[in-house]
Amino acid sequence: DTGVSQDPRHKITKRGQNVTFRCDPISEHNRLYWYRQTLGQGPEFLTYFQNEAQLEKSRLLSDRFSAERPKGSFSTLEIQRTEQGDSAMYLCASSLWGTGLSGNTIYFGEGSWLTVV
């Protein structure tokens, strides 16, 4: 399967612990997005990368959140000192920017569920 893959699919952690999620985008996609989704809500934008450069961050992304895409391929999203309010689905998506209108479409992975207890 050559879609967007995310790992782990589920994570249960104690409050105060750090967690890290990994996203592997569709091969050759140069843009990578992170979204957060809670039950009954639509995805909320967190941040996105073009290649290895982080170009935009939402105000939702507190100082405890950090994302990287060191080689312009996979990305990691780390949450430090987790809080119960961080419990959500963390979605990764990718697109191929710069190829005309088709670059305006993003494709999602299956998401990583985080439960903070």
Partner 1 sequence: AQSVSQHNHHVILSEAASLELGCNYSYGGTVNLFWYVQYPGQHLQLLLKYFSGDPLVKGIKGFEAEFIKSKFSFNLRKPSVQWSDTAEYFCAVKDNYGQNFVFGPGTRLSVLP
CB of 61 to partner 1, least distance (A): 12
Q: Which is nearer to partner 1, 63 or 101 (CB)?
A: 101
CB of 81 to partner 1, least distance (A): 26
- Secondary structure class of 104 (helix, strand, coil): helix
- Nearest to partner 1 of 2, 105 (CB atom): 105
CB atoms within 10 A of CB 31: 19
Q: How far is CA 64 from the centre of its chain?
A: 14
Q: Which amino acid is at 105?
A: T
CB of 28 to partner 1, least distance (A): 18
Q: Which residues bind partner 1 (CB under 8 A)?
A: 4, 33, 35, 40-45, 48, 55-56, 58, 91, 93, 101, 104-111
Place of tokens 């419990």: 87
Is the CB of residue 58 less than 8 Å from the CB of residue 46? yes
Residue closer to partner 1 by CB (options 28, 53) is 53
